[in-house]
């Protein structure tokens, strides 16, 4: 899935990339990186909040992204209208998430991290397999909505699909909305307080379970939204959430667990580094290696890049760039 | 710390019933494993030997994980990386024309040890959930690196054309010999871990699990101990990888996929964490369950996932605790 992130299935791509102007390629990859970053942010935001407030490691968060994508398949076929389908799918994603919360996750909050990891791992195995049973193992596609099809000329020689621009804009809008919610509202204040010291918040008379239900539901919908909106440009298949989950882990480790701001910046950094690395690493290695050696080494190093970045951040700041927990 | 001192230490008062209670399970387990090839011949079931070899290989990996998970409370979610490095060590050297085990096996183990040393040095600086995510991320890094090793099969994996030889003898081509080599590796790994756990080193490891502050108060910094344990565990796991590559005559990135790391944790917890022999029983239980469910439906994970959730929610202590309750022993949980 990660290799497919640069615009593999996009008919507009080859027309401008062939130009010798590498500035254009760079701009396209910058946008692609931004888009991956925004996608990662939508997933990491829920993950980091749930962990920050409830100390709950939810591996199955990536599955919620897959659920969103499959709901896109179901509802766009059923309803036809992309935006109607989006609303319905978000409600369904929320219901599925809350069902899991009430039946399973709720019993895990008082357990140690190992139990949480194992039980949510079981949930992943189940839901991935369920997707395979219901929809078959082969990848499905969702059409790009009519209103957002086509491409626009961003600069000379740079034609970029409207839908991808819409994704970036929507993602950034969600980020701004989330930032306002967390910093400007009462519920946001409670969430921040919960991430810093959940027991103290509880002692002050706040129903922390209820607060958590809200945060959890929000996180589930963000992941579902990410899955839904990514469905038209990626293939929808069982297990598609797994690799993104691990990328989201890298993001929140770099950003600092529990921090929305950290998740945002780290997501953009990871998205850009990963996308640009995959595009240009081989060329960079060609500067000082033979071309054949560069084609061997380049992709390997490119795929390691974000993990090296993570290791470097941890080495200098073991609690991430923007630690949320009070020491 | 005194509470967790193992029964083998002379300082604690002798409790014969407790000592027997602790040892009958591993004795039975190894006795069963020792006679399995004969049983297989008697039943005329050649699949059984192959299956039990596979069980023992994963048991080695699970025992190695239990050393740091059960005794050090280090939740490594990337242990399959070491399994994969061991397997790729054999695969790559074989592709380059080196089948001599006296070279290939040490190289594979040292490679895994070095990877563990570097990644462990970074990840052990962190605690709790950070450690889970970082070990997972490093394993994923190893996974993506192997998928881009186009010279050695990349995504498709690498076929091993001849099994590892020792001093020019292809001893692993004989199934029974392979069985007992694996058996010896498992027994060796188990005894080594037993010794480590009973030693002063092991007590520091378990002590750090209970209270790091108290340990530091008596002048011990657990970081170095944890790192050494992590490296030992990685090398034992790589040994399992070496055997796995030889059994399947194939290596692929899937060996270090994160599902595999999850499976290893499941084996340890299913059998009973922090007992070592529990890991062996857990590996057997996991693979038998997989086999049985796969017979039943190809979508066996649909059943296995909920079983896992139920085991976590209601089955604390794993199979070993169940066995000791059934045998009238005291509750060890």
Split at pLDDT 50, 70, 90, the class of B329 is low
Higher pLDDT, B328 or A220: A220
Number of structural domains, chain A?
A: 1
Residues of A in Cβ contact (< 8 Å) with B306: 122, 126
> Of chain A residues 37-56, which have a CB less than 8 A from chain B?
51
- Which of B119, B137, B311 has the CB atom closest to A249's CB atom? B137
Q: Is the pLDDT of residue B13 over 50?
A: no
User: Among A255-259, A297-301, B247-251, B323-327, which range has the highest average pLDDT?
Assistant: B247-251
Domain coverage including residue A248:
38-316
Partner B contacted by A242 (CB < 8 A) = yes
> Do B269 and A118 lie within an 8 Å CB cutoff?
yes
Residue to mutate among A116, A270, A307, A310, with most B CBs inside 10 A, is A307
pLDDT of residue A88: 95
> How many beta-carbon contacts under 8 Å exist across A and B?
125
Q: B269: Cβ–Cβ under 8 A, 6 or more apart, which residues?
A: A114, A118, B282, B311, B312, B318
The pLDDT of residue A189: 87
| Average pLDDT of every residue of chain B | 87
- A288 and chain B in contact, CB less than 8 A: no
Domain assignment present for residue A14? The answer is no
Which of the two residues, B137 and B113, has the higher pLDDT score?
A: B113
Residue carrying the six token digits 């994980």: B65
Say yes or no: B309 contacts chain A, CB-CB below 8 A. yes
C-alpha distance from B127 to closest chain A C-alpha (Å): 9
Residue to substitute from B115, B150, B302, B316, interface A, most A β-carbons within 10 A: B302
Q: Is residue B11 included in any domain, yes or no?
A: no
A99–chain B Cβ distance below 8 A for any pair:
no
Is the CB of B132 less than 8 angstroms away from the CB of A57?
yes
Q: How far away is chain B from the Cα of A301, in angstroms, using its nearest Cα? A: 8
Residue A123 to residue B126, Cβ atoms within 8 A: no
For residue B250, the SS3 value is: strand
Residue B260: inside a domain? yes
A65 lies in some domain: yes
Which of 42-71 (B) contact A at CB < 8 A?
Answer: 69
Q: Specify the CATH number for the domain of residue B232.
A: 1.10.3470
B293 touching A (Cβ < 8 Å): no
Task: Please indicate whether, in this complex, the C-beta atoms of B299 and A51 are within 8 angstroms of each other.
Answer: no
- Asked if A4 has any chain B CB less than 8 Å from its own CB, the reply is no
Tens of pLDDT, residues B154-186 = 888 899 888 888 888 888 888 899 999 999 999
- Nearest Cα to Cα of residue A48 among B76, B137, B133, B74: B133
Give pTM, 2 decimals. Answer: 0.87
A162 contact B CB<8A: no
Assess if residue B313 is contained within a domain. yes
> A174 CB near a chain B CB, below 8 Å?
no
Using 50, 70 and 90 to split pLDDT, how confident is the model at B2? Answer: very low
What's residue B260's pLDDT? 93
Per-residue pLDDT of B17-56, as tens digits, reads: 554 456 888 899 999 999 988 888 888 888 899 999 999 9
User: Is B122 close to A253, i.e. CB distance below 8 A?
Assistant: no
| Residue A133 lies inside a defined structural domain of this protein | yes
Instruction: Report the residue of chain B nearest A134, measured CA to CA.
Output: B299
Task: Kindly state the tokens that stand for B158.
Answer: 């690498």
Residue closest to B111 by CA, chosen among B7, B310, B245, B12: B245
User: Is A250 part of a structural domain of the chain?
Assistant: yes
| Structural domain range at position B305 | 18-326
User: Does some domain include residue A271?
Assistant: yes
Residue B290 reports pLDDT greater than 90: yes
- How far apart, in whole angstroms, are the C-alpha atoms of residue A323 and residue A256? 4
Which of B81, B133, B136, B263 would you mutate first to test chain A, the one with the most A CBs within 10 A? B133
Residue of B nearest to A313 (CA): B122
- B140 interaction partners in chain A (CB closer than 8 Å): 243, 246, 307
Opening angle at CA A241, ends B116 and A142, nearest 5: 150
- How far is A131 from B266, CA to CA, in rounded Å? 22
Residue A92: count other Cβ atoms within 10 Å of its Cβ: 17
Give SS3 for B200: helix
CB-CB under 8 Å, A314 with B312: no
Decide if B304 touches A, using CB distance below 8 A: yes
B305 → closest Cβ in A113, A123, A314: A123
Instruction: Write out chain B residues lying below 8 Å of A119, CB-based.
Output: 308-309, 312-313
A246–B128 CB contact, under 8 Å: no
Determine contact: A125 vs chain B, CB below 8 A.
yes
Q: Which of A135-144, A291-300, B204-213, B323-332 is modeled with the greatest confidence? A: A135-144
Identify the band that residue B236 occupies on the pLDDT scale cut at 50, 70 and 90: very high
Residue of B nearest to A316 (CA): B122
What secondary structure, in 3-state letters, does chain A show? CCCCCCCCCCCCHHHHHCCCCHHHHHHHHHHHHHHHHHHHHHHHHHHHHHHHHHCCCCCCHHHHHHHHHHHHHHHHHHHCCHHHHHHHHHHHHHHHHHHHHHHCHHHHCCCCHHHHHHHHHHHHHHHHHHHHHHHCCCCECCCCCHHHCCEEEEECCEEEEHHHHHHHHHHHHHHHHHHHHHHHCHHHHHHHHHHHCHHHHHHCCCCHHHHHHHHHHHHHHHHHHHHHHHCCCCCECCCHHHHHHHHHHHHHHHHCCCCHHHHHHHHHHHHHHHHHHHHHHHHHHHCCCCHHHHHHHHHHHHHHHHHHHHHHHHHHCCCCCCCCCCC
* Chain B residues 68-97 within an 8 A CB cutoff of chain A: 69, 75, 77
Has residue B298 been placed in a domain? Answer: yes
Which residue, among B80, B115, B148, B273, would best test binding to A if mutated, counting the most A CBs under 10 Å from its CB? B148
Question: Could you tell me if residue A19 is inside a domain?
Answer: no
Q: Which of A114, A254, A319 to substitute to test the interface with B, most B CBs within 10 Å?
A: A114
Is residue A66 included in any domain, yes or no?
A: yes
Instruction: Centre a 10 Å sphere on the Cβ of residue A15 and count the other Cβ atoms it contains.
Output: 12
CA distance A299 to A319: 29
Which chain A residues are within 8 Å of B126, Cβ to Cβ?
314, 318
B137, A249 in Cβ contact below 8 A?
A: yes
Tens-digit pLDDT profile for residues B70-108: 998 899 999 999 999 999 999 999 988 888 888 999 999
* Cβ <8 Å between B265 and A118: yes
Is A25 a member of any domain?
no
Is B43 part of any domain? yes
Facing A125 at nearest CB: one of B136, B144, B308: B308
Helix H or strand E segment including B158 = strand B158-159
- B333 pLDDT above the threshold of 60: no
**In a mutagenesis test of the A interface, which of B123, B124, B132 is the best target, namely the one with the most A β-carbons within 10 Å?**
B132
Given a cut of 80, is residue B225 above it in pLDDT?
Answer: yes
pLDDT in 10s for each residue of chain A, 327 residues? 343 444 334 444 444 444 445 788 888 889 999 999 999 999 999 898 888 777 888 999 999 999 999 999 999 999 888 899 999 999 999 999 999 999 999 889 888 899 999 999 999 999 999 999 999 999 998 888 888 888 888 777 778 899 999 999 999 999 999 888 888 888 888 888 877 777 888 888 888 888 888 889 989 999 999 999 999 998 899 989 988 998 999 999 899 888 888 999 999 999 999 999 888 888 888 888 888 888 878 888 888 899 889 888 887 888 888 876 543
Chain-chain contact of B129 with A57 (C-beta, under 8 angstroms): yes
Number of domains in chain B: 1
Contact B6/A at CB under 8 A: no
């Amino acid at each position: 899935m990660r290799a497919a992130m640069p615009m593999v299935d996009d008919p507009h791509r080859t027309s401008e990339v062939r130009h010798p102007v590498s500035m254009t390629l760079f701009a396209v990859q910058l946008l692609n990186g931004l888009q991956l970053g925004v996608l990662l942010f939508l997933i990491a935001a829920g993950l980091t909040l749930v962990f920050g407030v409830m100390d709950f490691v939810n591996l199955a968060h990536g599955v919620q992204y897959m659920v969103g994508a499959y709901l896109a398949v179901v509802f766009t076929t059923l309803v036809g209208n992309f935006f109607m389908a989006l609303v319905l799918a978000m409600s369904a994603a929320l219901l599925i998430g809350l069902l899991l919360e009430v039946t399973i996750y709720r019993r895990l909050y008082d357990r140690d991290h190992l139990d949480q990891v194992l039980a949510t791992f079981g949930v992943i195995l189940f839901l991935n397999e369920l997707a395979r049973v219901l929809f078959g193992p082969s990848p499905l596609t969702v059409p790009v909505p009519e209103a957002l099809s086509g491409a626009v000329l961003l600069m000379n020689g740079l034609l970029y699909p409207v839908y991808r621009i819409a994704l970036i804009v929507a993602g950034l809008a969600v980020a701004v909305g989330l930032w306002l919610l967390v910093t400007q509202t009462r519920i946001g204040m409670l969430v921040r307080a919960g991430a810093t010291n959940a027991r103290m918040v509880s002692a002050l008379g706040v129903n922390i379970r209820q607060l958590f239900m809200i945060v959890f539901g929000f996180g589930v919908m963000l992941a579902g939204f990410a899955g839904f909106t990514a469905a038209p440009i990626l293939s929808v298949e069982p297990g598609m959430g797994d690799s993104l989950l691990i990328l989201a882990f890298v993001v929140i480790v770099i950003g600092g667990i529990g921090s929305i701001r950290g998740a945002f910046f780290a997501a953009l950094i990871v998205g850009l580094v990963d996308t640009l690395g995959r595009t240009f690493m081989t060329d960079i290695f060609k500067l000082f290696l033979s071309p054949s050696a560069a084609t061997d080494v380049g992709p390997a190093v490119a795929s390691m890049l974000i993990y090296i970045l993570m290791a470097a951040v941890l080495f200098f700041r073991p609690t991430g760039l923007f630690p949320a927990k009070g020491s | 710390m005194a509470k967790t001192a193992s029964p083998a230490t002379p300082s604690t008062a002798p409790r014969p019933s407790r000592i027997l209670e602790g040892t009958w399970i591993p004795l039975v387990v190894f006795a069963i494993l020792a006679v399995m090839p004969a049983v297989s011949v008697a039943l005329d079931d050649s699949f059984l030997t192959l299956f039990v070899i596979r069980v023992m290989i994963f048991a080695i990996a699970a025992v190695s994980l239990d050393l740091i998970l059960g005794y050090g409370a280090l939740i490594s979610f990337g242990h399959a990386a070491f399994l994969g490095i061991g397997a790729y060590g054999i695969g790559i050297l074989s592709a380059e024309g080196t089948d001599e085990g006296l070279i290939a096996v040490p190289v594979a183990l040292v490679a895994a040890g070095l990877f563990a040393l570097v990644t462990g040095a970074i990840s052990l600086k962190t605690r709790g959930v950070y450690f889970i995510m970082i070990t997972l991320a490093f394993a994923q890094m190893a996974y993506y690196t192997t998928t881009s090793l186009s010279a050695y099969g990349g995504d498709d994996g690498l076929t091993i054309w001849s099994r590892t030889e020792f001093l020019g003898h292809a001893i692993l081509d004989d199934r029974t010999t392979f069985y007992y080599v694996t058996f010896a590796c498992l027994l060796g790994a188990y005894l080594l871990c037993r010794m480590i756990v009973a030693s002063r080193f092991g007590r520091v490891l378990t002590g750090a699990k209970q209270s790091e502050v108290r340990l530091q108060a008596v002048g011990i910094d657990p970081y170095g101990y944890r790192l050494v344990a992590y490296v030992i565990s990685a090398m034992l796991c790589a040994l399992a990888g070496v055997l796995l590559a030889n059994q399947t005559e194939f290596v692929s990135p899937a060996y270090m996929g994160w599902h595999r790391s999850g499976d290893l944790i499941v084996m340890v917890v299913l059998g009973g964490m922090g007992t070592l022999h529990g890991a062996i029983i857990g590996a057997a239980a996991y693979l038998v369950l997989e086999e049985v469910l796969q017979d039943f439906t190809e979508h066996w994970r649909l059943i296995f996932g909920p079983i896992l959730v139920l085991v976590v929610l209601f089955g604390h202590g794993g199979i070993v605790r169940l066995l000791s309750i059934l045998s009238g022993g005291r509750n060890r949980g």
